[in-house]
Amino acid sequence: MPGLTSAEKNFLSQITQLVEENISNEQFGVSELAEAAGMSRSNLLRKIKKITDLSASQFIRNVRLKYASELLEEGAWTVSEISYKVGFGSPSYFIKCFRELYGYPPGELGKHQEADAENLEEQAEVPPLVPKKKFPFTLISFFAIVLIAAVLYVVLRPASPGKANIKSIAVLPFLNDSNDTSNVYIINGLMEATLNNLQQINDLRVISRTSVESYRNNPKSTAEIARELNATYLVEGSGQKIDNQILLNIRLIDTRTNNDLWGQQYRRDTEDIFSLQADVAKNIAEQIEAIVTPEESKRIEKKPTDNLQAYDLFLKGLDFLRIPTEDNLQKAVPLFKTAIQEDKEFARAYAGVAISFFMLDRGKSVKQFADSINYYADQALFYDSKLPQSLTAKALFYMAHNEYELALPYLEKALEISPNSDVVLAFMVDLYVNYLPDTEKYLEYALKGLEIDIVAAYDSGAASYSYLHISNAFIQSAFIDEAQKYIDISLDLLPENLYSQYVKAYIQYARDEDMQRLNKTLLAIFEKDKSRLDVLQEVAKSYYYLGDFETAALYYKPFVEAREKYKLDIYPSENGKIALTFDKTGEKELADKYFNRYKTWAEKDPSVYRNYSLAMYYSYLGDTEKAVEFLDKFSQKDKFNYWIVLFTAVDPLSENMQLHPQYKKIFARIENKFENYHKRIKKSLEVKDLI
């Protein structure tokens, strides 16, 4: 790199060496580099930017990639192994970054060695830290909304090096070998059964159905699919129903060698479909030497029903439930109900109705099926209390009635029985982020979801939201660098993701606490889509924090009007800010209306934030004694998110409370609690090998 002074070269050499000394440590980021270099974070950022025109995180990433290229030249390790050796938690993300820097994937290094050698010779003084302009990095952002209907939140993150012995397997969509498309649901059902059976084996990491679905008619090679899904084994299947027989071909591929490990053709009578499904799963497990416990084997062998007509109807309904649009759900329910008429003890069919009803009601202020869910969930549990779908259905009943604490043990039991269930993990994340806020559990289950739900390979939109979840989970626990890392990936995959854009703005605020900058960024995002109520209220809130109540009211009014018009039960926690805004602008009637709603919501809030919200309520009323009393109760808790620490001091609702002589002491306790909580979460995740 010409034009550098001797001091600048020495500096780059020093920090490059520090990165290389920690090359395999994925968590060695900007803060760790600054500490190792004996510099403040801000000085490190400025100095690297000045010398290289790169951010510090880009610099670290490029050093890792340079080191990776040297390992690749040695030819002793696979691309996946090298990705871990240089501190990338995901081979897919490593491949993407390598391509952006060098212009080709790492697997093609041999073809480009001569050209690369020339480039390296020209830049021998320091590592090639400037990316080729033809392949620029795109930096990005964060936030999270759980859309369970898509069963959704997942990514390219593979098992960590500490989990190298876990056998990961992906069951690709089975193909219909017949010209008769009316029987496709049977072939889909065979694939679903194989997947469900394997998901119950604790010794396996089973890639989710959502992750493999688009490979149904995908021309990609097995090597490409395996790399994208980070799977050690792939299962391919094809079959057809001929009269009263099922012909099924299964192929098991070891992706490390790209060779067939095992293959078999099954020809069974339709009445033997259940033994066929069990045999396929058990044979696969045997071939890859997975440990199957007696209890797991018993569950795999258990017949869901003795009535083939009922099962046929169930499979038709399941094919609709697989893509849970409202139209499909309306079609699935009568099929499940007819299956129940054929077999009154068919637990899976009862669970299918309950789950479909929950999905039909989800997000609606008027719940049409809330009570019916209970009947079908109870019937499912009565006939099979150890069926994951039965347990999930009962959990959904409690969720539909806002009894989230009661839902939790059913989901935990379902996950115990089926540890690879992406559906159950999705609901667990939903609970811990939206209804029973627990930043530690949110982060834990979101990271577990990463290991089995790999969608980015084919659906950049879904993957963007998956990374958004992880980023949101990290920022709520004050892991700022980690949050930035995943939000960057989220926006790289889907730059127009407004959720990620405005959450990125909040991550930036966590760094600099610049409210003016946050406000300007949110305004720019809102200009891109003025129909977005979520962004609308974020803009209003930023003006509220700035004390510009007149402008805040201009944004809050259309927000509350739309919420009333469409009967949307969203953002109830914001009613306090909305009320104060209307009070400051002289609209007393509206202020009273929304403060009453805020108080009612806060008093019923089962979460850890109840006392905090009530403290804000009484602070506004001027009853500072009662306000600090509730704040003191809140300070006894330790599972709350980072936003409490960041925003309380700038929230106008807290102004009266801050005048109380006990406020500073109590809030200092809250800050200390959060700091200790953050440290404990980090240690816990490290022990569980999740970071």
Q: Which residues contact 13 (CB under 8 A, 6 or more apart)?
A: 126
Residue 239 belongs to what H/E stretch?
Answer: strand 233-242
Find the CATH number of the domain harbouring 193.
3.40.50.10070
DSSP-derived letter for residue 173 is P
**Is the CB of residue 174 less than 8 Å from the CB of residue 234?**
no
Helix (H) / strand (E) element for 371: namely helix 370-383
- Of 373, 403, 418, the residue at which a domain comes to its end is 418
Examine residue 20 and state whether it is found in any structural domain, yes or no: yes
In a domain, 396, yes or no: yes
* Residue-range definition of the domain harbouring residue 53: 6-122
Residues 232 and 92 in one domain: no
Nearest to 347 by CA among 371, 321, 311: 311
Q: Do 528 and 590 belong together in one domain?
A: yes
- Does residue 483 form part of some domain? no
pTM here?
0.60
* Token code pair at residue 150: 């898509």
Q: Within this chain, do residues 323 and 353 fall inside the same structural domain, yes or no?
A: yes
Annotate 305-324 with b (16+ C-beta within 10 A) or e (fewer): bebeebbbbbbbbbbbbbeb
On whether both 89 and 171 belong to a single domain, the answer is no
**pLDDT, average across residues 495-502:** 94
Asked whether residue 182 falls in the same domain as residue 104, the answer is no
> What are the two backbone dihedrals, phi and then psi, of residue 597, each rounded to the nearest 5 degrees?
-65, -40
Q: What are the backbone angles phi and psi of residue 113, rounded to the nearest 5°?
A: -60, -40
Give the residue-averaged pLDDT of 279-295.
91
Residues 272 and 164 grouped into a single domain: yes
Distance CA 596, CA 618 (A): 12
With bands split at pLDDT 50, 70 and 90, how would you rate the model's confidence at 487?
very high
Q: Provide the mean pLDDT of the chain.
A: 85
Concatenating the DSSP letter of every residue in 383-404 gives H-TT-HHHHHHHHHHHHHTT-H
Alpha carbon of 327 to those of 148, 356, 370: distances in Å? 17, 11, 19
Residue 128 falls within a domain, yes or no?
A: no
pLDDT of amino acid 672: 94
* Residue 477 belongs to a domain: no
Which string of b and e fits 335-361 if b means at least 16 CB within 10 Å?
Answer: bbbbbbebbeebbbbbbbbbbbbbbbb
Q: Average pLDDT for residues 527-544, to the nearest whole number? A: 95
Q: Are residues 274 and 341 in the same domain?
A: no
Q: How many domains does the chain have?
A: 4
- Verify that 81 and 179 share a domain, yes or no: no
Q: Check: CB of residue 645 under 8 Å from CB of residue 543.
A: no
Q: Are residues 346 and 233 in the same domain?
A: no
Residue 549 lies in a domain: yes
542 and 675 fall within a common domain: yes
Which pLDDT tens digit goes with each residue over 78-119? 887 788 788 876 666 677 678 778 888 887 776 555 444 444
Separation of alpha carbons 276 and 266, rounded Å: 8
Which domain CATH number covers 620?
1.25.40
User: Quick check: helix, strand or coil at residue 61?
Assistant: helix
Tell which of 303, 329, 355 closes a domain. 303
pLDDT range class, residue 9, cuts 50, 70, 90: confident
Whether 66 and 128 have beta carbons less than 8 Å apart is answered as: yes
Tell whether 310 and 296 lie within a shared domain: no
Residue 146 to residues 26, 143, 331, 421, 499, Cα–Cα distance (Å): 27, 10, 24, 16, 12
pLDDT in tens, 557-574: 999 999 999 888 889 999
Is residue 386 in some structural domain?
yes
Residue 338: which CATH number? Answer: 1.25.40.10
Q: What is the pLDDT of residues 133-170, one digit of tens each?
A: 222 222 222 223 333 222 222 222 333 333 445 689 99
Residues 284 and 321 in one domain: no
Q: Of 260, 279, 303, which marks where a domain is finished?
A: 303
The mean-pLDDT minimum among 27-41, 412-426, 497-511, 641-655 falls in: 27-41
Question: Where residue 462 falls among pLDDT bands split at 50, 70, 90?
Answer: low
- In-domain check, residue 446: no
Sequential DSSP letters for 417-442: HSTT-HHHHHHHHHIIIIIS--HHHH
pLDDT (tens digit per residue) in 191-235: 999 999 999 999 999 998 888 887 887 778 888 888 888 899 999
